[in-house]
Amino acid sequence: MRTKMRLLGFRGAAVKPLNEEAAAELGAELLGEALVFGVGGLCLYLEYLRQAGQSRRREEHLEQTLSHLQQGLERLQRELEELRAQ
């Protein structure tokens, strides 16, 4: 109960002791909420990593395509110069 009061922003409030059943129920509720929050945060983090990986792979693919196009352009320019020389 003290933990719940601290989370709600009550610092110096006196809390009378709970019976064992109420304390167990409150603890289970707090644990359940923490678990749901943790799983949600983990899902968000994993989705972020997945999106970052996809973005990185897409960027690498575009760089590779650009490199191939530049090599092809250079080859065509050399061939054009050879034809002009003839």
- Residue 24 lies inside a defined structural domain of this protein: yes
What pLDDT is stored for residue 15 in this prediction? 67
When pLDDT is cut at 50, 70 and 90, the band that residue 84 belongs to is very high
Residue 33 lies in a domain: yes
DSSP H or E run through 26? helix 20-85
Asked whether residue 79 is domain-assigned, the answer is yes
Task: pLDDT band for 8, please (50, 70, 90 cuts).
Answer: confident
Tally the C-alpha atoms within 13 A of residue 2's C-alpha that lie toward its C-beta.
5
Count: domains in the chain = 1
Asked whether residue 9 is domain-assigned, the answer is no
Domain with 71, as residue range(s), is 17-85
Residue 7, domain member (yes or no): no
| Cβ–Cβ under 8 Å, residues 31 and 56 | no
- Domain contains 11: no
CB 1 within 8 A of CB 15: yes
Domain-located, residue 43? yes
In which band, very low, low, confident or very high, does the pLDDT at 69 lie, cut at 50, 70 and 90?
very high
List of residues 6+ apart from 1 with CB closer than 8 A = 15, 18, 23, 26
Q: Tell me if 25 is assigned to some domain.
A: yes
Question: What one-character DSSP code corresponds to residue 7?
Answer: H
pLDDT at residue 9, rounded to an integer: 77
> Which token pair is 82?
């050879």
What's the pTM?
Answer: 0.58
Calculate mean pLDDT across residues 12-19: 73
